[in-house]
């Protein structure tokens, strides 16, 4: 029997996203990361000018959820807050955070390579532009 739902782009996209995020979550969890923590660490890599509100907007994380997220990262010793200007604080990686970011970079690069290997070669160049067109 043909899966009629699989013919619906929104349904197929949701299933693909759930599958990919579940797999990535499992891989990151094996190394002590949550997906949102990893996203924040990758975002602040080589940056010293991002505030918590900018990070939250970029990652679509509500302010109420950013506070405990950043507190976890700070408690783990992976980020610290640094004065940015008279009233703002930048979220910057610590030396330990830089080591975690390097580890994350390796994990994500391997995951992304394996993910793209699932896509037929003739569609790979179109995948990212198509996905970005949907949400941007």
Task: Provide the pLDDT for residue 2.
Answer: 61
Residue 57 above 60 pLDDT? yes
| Mean pLDDT, residues 46-75 | 95
CATH class of 32-108: mainly alpha
CA 63 to CA 30: how far, in whole Å? 27
User: Average per-residue pLDDT in the chain?
Assistant: 94
CA 41 to CA 39: how far, in whole Å? 5
**pLDDT digits 0-9 by tens, 1-46:** 468 898 999 999 999 999 999 999 999 999 999 999 999 999 999 9
Q: How many CA atoms lie within 13 A of 110 on its CB side?
A: 10
pLDDT confidence bin for 87, thresholds 50/70/90: confident
């Amino acid at each position: 029997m043909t899966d009629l739902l699989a013919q619906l782009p929104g349904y197929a996209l949701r299933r693909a996203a759930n599958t990919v995020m579940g797999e990535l979550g499992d891989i990151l969890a094996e190394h002590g990361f949550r997906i949102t923590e990893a996203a924040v660490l990758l975002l602040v890599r080589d940056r010293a000018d991002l505030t918590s509100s900018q990070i939250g907007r970029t990652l679509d994380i509500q302010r109420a959820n950013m506070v405990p997220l950043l507190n976890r990262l700070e408690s783990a010793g992976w980020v610290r807050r640094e004065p940015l200007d008279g009233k703002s604080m930048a979220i910057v990686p610590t030396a330990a955070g830089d080591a975690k970011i390097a580890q994350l970079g390796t994990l994500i690069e391997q995951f992304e390579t394996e993910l793209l290997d699932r896509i037929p070669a003739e569609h790979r160049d179109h995948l990212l532009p198509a996905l970005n067109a949907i949400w941007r």
